[in-house]
Amino acid sequence: MTFAPVVPAAFLIVIAAAVVLLRLITMRSLATGPGHRWATVWRWSGLTLALLLLLIAAARPGFGHGGPQSVTTAQSGDNTNVFFVVDRSTESTNAISEDIQTLIAHHPQARFAVISFASRPSLDWPLSQDAWSLQPEIASLTSYDEPGDVVNAAAAANVLRYQLIAAGQQYPGSQNLVYYFGAGAPGSQAPQSEFDPVAGSVDGGAVFGRGAPLNEPALRRIADELGVSYLNPDDDVAVTQAAPEDTVVQQPTDVGRRTELYWVFTIVAAVLLLFESYLSMRELRRARMSRREVMS
């Protein structure tokens, strides 16, 4: 079994240790009390287990198939990481959503990540090969309700940089494609950041001008910083034409297809949380009925 945590593993370990320690402290007094308190101990144990299961799910456990081998990879095939950087300050999220779904179909075996931004970045979808679950997420993209004068066209720079570094460490020999969709923060008065990916960490992609009006100088600058081409809507070029041509490469790699198991832990955690919610609602109802009887 391998892990691909959505946040640094040390962070998850610290949270898990804190949850267990705090729960042991609070349950110790209950365990030494009268026998009827054991029901509360069991309920708190179930809630603690649910939290730990969610932390395990965040570590993204899974099984990788196959060992080290020489594999044939293509940019639209296996061992490719595709990063979508989405400007959510524009009103063109519907068009962006359609473009992203087209690119997902063009890279059927790739791993995908979605980084959204306006004034600040957000990792909406950590790098994963679960394209089936990603598509409804993309279909529901909406614009952020933020004024245009605070938008930073390169707000996602640091998040993208570290995601690219993490992808190189988790998937040796993989190729990284970056597709940026945005308007270039026209009319923004906010300081603008710069993209500074590690040299060689971006293997292809494109910057697509989306929205109106477009700040084309800013978009061209971003394309230069990422080392990819810039395309505006007037170019009348299909998004898939901006994708790199399939190149077949023989290279050794430790990465094979990965079976994700996070959903198993989230389902069990959800069942425990639902059961706890049911018990809490039942207690609340009984308390209200008892109060009514006393008042009557």
- Read off the tokens for 153: 């066209």
Tell me the per-residue pLDDT of 173-224, one tens digit each, with 9 for 90 and over.
Answer: 899 999 999 989 888 888 999 999 999 999 999 999 988 889 999 999 999 9
What pLDDT does 23 receive?
80
Strand partners, 69: 253
**Residues 97, 85 contacting (CB under 8 angstroms):** no
What pLDDT does 193 receive?
92
* φ/ψ bin of 295: left (φ > 0), alpha (ψ from -120 to 50), beta (otherwise): alpha
Ranges of each domain in the chain: 2-64+267-291, 80-231
What pLDDT does 77 receive?
56
pLDDT averaged over consecutive 10-residue blocks of the chain (296 residues)?
Answer: 80 88 76 62 83 89 61 59 93 88 91 94 92 90 84 94 93 93 89 92 92 90 94 71 58 60 90 88 82 70
**Number of neighbouring beta carbons within 10 Å of residue 81:** 25
What pLDDT does 255 receive?
47
What pLDDT does 75 receive?
46
Distance in angstroms (rounded) separating the CA atoms of residues 290 and 212: 61
What pLDDT does 256 receive?
52
User: Which residues neighbour 253 within 8 Å (Cβ) at sequence distance 6 or greater?
Assistant: 68, 69, 70, 71, 73, 79, 172, 173, 174
What pLDDT does 73 receive?
47
Strands (E), the chain: 2-3, 61-64, 69-73, 80-87, 111-117, 121-128, 175-182, 204-209, 229-231, 249-253, 258-260
- Read off the tokens for 4: 């691909």
What pLDDT does 154 receive?
93
Supply the DSSP symbol for 192: P
Distance in angstroms (rounded) separating the CA atoms of residues 162 and 181: 19
Look up the CATH number of domain 80-231: 3.40.50.410
How far, rounded to the nearest angstrom, does the alpha carbon of residue 279 sit from its chain's CA centroid? 33
**Number of neighbouring beta carbons within 10 Å of residue 16:** 17
Distance in angstroms (rounded) separating the CA atoms of residues 279 and 231: 56
Candidates 179, 129, 183, 175; CA nearest to 152 is: 183
Distance in angstroms (rounded) separating the CA atoms of residues 22 and 16: 10
Distance in angstroms (rounded) separating the CA atoms of residues 274 and 276: 5
Question: Residue 54, SS3?
Answer: helix
User: Which residues neighbour 294 within 8 Å (Cβ) at sequence distance 6 or greater?
Assistant: none
What pLDDT does 37 receive?
64
Candidates 87, 66, 89, 96; CA nearest to 78 is: 66
